[in-house]
Amino acid sequence: MKTIRLKLLLAVTVMLSGSLCAQNISEIAQSDPLIISGAVGTQNTYRYSSVGNGYGSPMSNTVYANLNISLYGFSMPFSLYYSNDNLNFNYPQISFNLTPRYKNWVGHLGQSSMSMSTYVMNMSFNGVGLEYDSEKIRVGAFYGRLRNAINGDPTDPFARTPQYKRIGWGFKVGYGSGEHYIDLYLLRAYDCENSIDELWREQLSPQENIVVGIKGRVTPFNWLSFTANAATSVFNSDLRTPSVPVKTDFDDVFDVKYSSLIRFAGDLNANINIKGVNASVSYRLVQPDYTSLGTYYMSNNYHSLGVTLGTTLFNRISLSGTFSGQADNLSNEQLYTTCGYVYAANASTRLGNHFTLTVGYNGYLQTQRDGTCVVNDTTKVHRVMSSFSVTPSYSYETELFGHNVSLSANFTGNEDLNKFATGESDVKTRALGLSYNLDVKPIETDFTLTYSHQESEGYKTKYFSDVFSVGTSRSFLKEKNLNLAASVSLCYNEVERQSKSLSVGADMSASFSLKKVHMFSASAAFNKYGDVNITQTRSNLDCTDITVSLNYTYTFTLLAIKNKAKKNEE
């Protein structure tokens, strides 16, 4: 108990030293001067299992409190969390953001982001920035920290993976809009070598790069348009590498070293819309080792070609199809070249006012070609995966009842096409689902009935699963603030010639809100199950699980000094 009191004292002390998280500065004048609000609550879960408590605690009790102080839009959130003798306290971390706006100008101060090409930068920054965006002209620039250093104790075997602090700056300029535009981007980013321990530097190399990007669109005809997005990156994988003793065009902003790489990435799209037919053709290429330190992650060393097509027939039938192919090993340095092809076709229609039907097919083919080595026929990757689905649904309403019936059928196959394959990795799955929902309007009650069947067939193995459930829900009282729900389910699983299992479960839940600030909820789940011998047909249901949960939340406002202008409007 003494330890808990000490933790609480420390928590309160830290709470008083919390820092501010700012909102948009342009909204300060319209913001409420002071709002102090929060919530307190408890969550309590009790579990019983006849097979023991190895998979979970028999009792879980939690008490939590949240407090938020809002001062002219500046927010200070605090939280206190106590669970089973463990105390956690979270106070506001330093996260400051101001985004002032004036006419076409936008400023950035603190943690913010700026829209740029996906090949150049998609990370947020912590620093300063300024943007101007009119109907035709766009200009922006920023400077800040792209990521913090992670600098744990190098002697700690459980230390987090280290990383350097990264600084970046960049700008963008663009002209045009809609059908015709062009945008240019530049990013300069580098790691701070002294931001981590010297022992970590022996394992991790600081990096830097400069990226120049361009994005644009032209529309020569109202039915045809072209878009392009491309970037070139000069990347140093190790800042400590000696510089190249030859002058380059980058010397003023970038020190070219022996570890420097120049790489390209880009895509080109053609879009066509003629008499209700939409089509597009796209090509993308990302060279090996293409890197931008302003992006979180980007795949490279591949190129792809894709085609999409869509149309509507008779104002009733929607059709769409896609095909794309991708291959890696652009440098021809890999042992093998991997190729993948994705293709899909979908159709949907509505017949009358009650019936809809959707049919779809998806496929994926993967294969290999020669690289630096000749493909070995016995180990060659040659695999096809395909999926076919049909989903009809029917809905109908009267003054007393609302009916909705839906059926789903799916077949999925995964097959190894290698002529030497034994079929050990092949899998075929068939699934069938049926659901019926009944809305009884006079008593405002919903009833739901569902059934699903799945069977999977692999190498010398078959798996079956059947799940049946029925449920109901209803809201009570004048304000509909009392909600009750219950369901019963039956599940049967079988692995042919190995095992069978049966389970029966029931779930009940209730929630009640009082004056919109008090929320009570309770739920209970009961499950009977058991494994059976392969010679038997059903389980003895000799295992039992019971779970009961009781929860309560109270939300409050301690103090509210509202903006007079807003108050008058209300």
The answer to whether residue 410 is domain-embedded is no
**Amino acid 185: pLDDT:** 98
Q: In this structure, are strands 518-532 and 499-514 parallel, antiparallel, or unpaired?
A: antiparallel
What's the distance, CA 288 to chain centroid?
A: 27
- Boundary residue ending a domain (279, 300, 321): 300
The values of phi and psi at residue 195, to 5°, are -85, -10
Q: Looking at the structure, do residues 223 and 134 belong to the same domain, yes or no?
A: yes
pLDDT digits (tens, 9 = 90+) for 326-337: 999 999 999 999
In this structure, the chain runs to a length of 570
Residue where one domain finishes, among candidates 300, 335, 352: 300
Residue 209 lies in a domain: yes
What is the domain count for the chain? 2
- Phi, psi of 85, rounded to the nearest 5 degrees: 75, 5
Q: What is the pLDDT of residue 323?
A: 97
Q: Is residue 127 part of a domain?
A: yes
User: Is residue 518 a contact partner of residue 552, using CB atoms and an 8 Å limit?
Assistant: yes
Q: Are 60 and 112 contained in the same domain?
A: no
Q: Clarify whether residues 189 and 289 are in a common domain.
A: yes
23-37, 359-373, 439-453, 542-556: range with lowest mean pLDDT: 23-37
pLDDT digits (tens, 9 = 90+) for 504-514: 999 999 999 99
CATH number at residue 119: 2.40.160
Segments in 353-417 forming alpha helices (H): none
DSSP state of 485: E
| Per-residue model confidence (pLDDT) at position 567 | 56
Cα gap 383→364, rounded to integer Å: 8
The mean predicted confidence, pLDDT, of the chain is 87
| Residue 166, pLDDT score | 96
Q: How many helices (H) and strands (E) does the chain have?
A: 3, 28
Low-confidence winner among 23-37, 363-377, 415-429, 442-456 (lowest mean pLDDT): 23-37
Q: Which residue has the tokens 């003798």?
A: 85
**Domain C-terminal end among 300, 317, 333:** 300
Could you give the CA distance from residue 10 to residue 21 in angstroms, rounded to a whole number?
22
**Confidence class of residue 125 from pLDDT cuts 50, 70 and 90?**
very high
**Strand runs labelled E in 314-444:** 317-328, 336-351, 355-370, 382-397, 401-416, 427-440
* Segment 218-239, tens digit of pLDDT: 999 999 999 999 999 999 999 9
Same domain for 54 and 8?
A: yes
Based on the domain organization, do 88 and 103 belong to the same domain? no
Domain of 72, in residue numbers:
1-93+460-570
**Residue-wise burial string across 222-237, b where 16 or more C-beta atoms lie within 10 A, e elsewhere:** eeebebebbbbbbbbb
Q: Are residues 132 and 14 in the same domain?
A: no
Q: What are the tens digits of pLDDT across the range 197-214?
A: 999 998 899 999 999 999
Looking at per-residue confidence, does 103 or 189 come out higher? 189
Comparing C-alpha atoms, which of 438, 437, 427, 470 is closest to residue 451?
470
Distance CA(526)–CA(547), nearest Å, equals: 7
- Taking the chain, what is the end-to-end CA distance rounded to the nearest angstrom? 49
Do 74 and 117 reside in the same domain of the chain?
no
Residue 121's pLDDT band, with cuts at 50, 70 and 90, is very high
396 within domain boundaries: no
pLDDT at 93 over 90: no
The amino acid present at 112, given as its one-letter code, is S
87 and 196 share one domain = no
CA dihedral 555, 559, 561, 566 (to 10 degrees): 10
Rounded mean pLDDT, 232-258:
84
Q: Are 208 and 176 in contact (CB under 8 A)?
A: no
Find the mean pLDDT for residues 1-19: 38
Residue 20 binned pLDDT confidence (cut-offs 50, 70, 90):
very low
Share of the chain above pLDDT 70, in %: 88
Q: Are 236 and 133 in the same domain?
A: yes
Instruction: List pLDDT tens digits, range 406-440.
Output: 999 999 999 999 988 888 899 999 999 999 999 99
Residue 400 falls within a domain, yes or no? no
The residue to which tokens 């992670």 are assigned: 150
Alpha carbons 544 and 539: distance in angstroms, whole number: 13
User: Distance between CA 321 and CA 257 in Å, rounded?
Assistant: 47
According to the model, what pLDDT value does residue 297 have?
87
CA nearest neighbour of 445 among 483, 407, 479, 398: 483
Please tell me the predicted confidence (pLDDT) of residue 54.
60
- Is 493 contained in some domain? yes
Phi, psi of 157 (to 5 degrees): -65, -15
Judge whether 218 lies within some domain. yes
116 shares a domain with 76: no
Instruction: Say how many C-beta atoms besides its own lie within 10 A of residue 89's C-beta.
Output: 18
Q: Are both 172 and 280 inside the same structural domain?
A: yes
How is 174-204 classified by DSSP, letter by letter? Answer: EEEETTEEEEEEEEEEEEEGGGS-HHHHTT-
The b-or-e profile of 500-522 (16+ CB within 10 A means b, else e) is: bbbbebebebebebeeeeebebe
Clarify whether residues 122 and 71 are in a common domain.
Answer: no
Say which DSSP state 567 is in: H
Q: What's this model's pTM, rounded to 2 decimal places?
A: 0.78
Closest by Cα among 185, 175, 176 to 141: 185
Distance CA 428, CA 419 (A): 19
> Does residue 56 surpass a pLDDT of 50?
yes
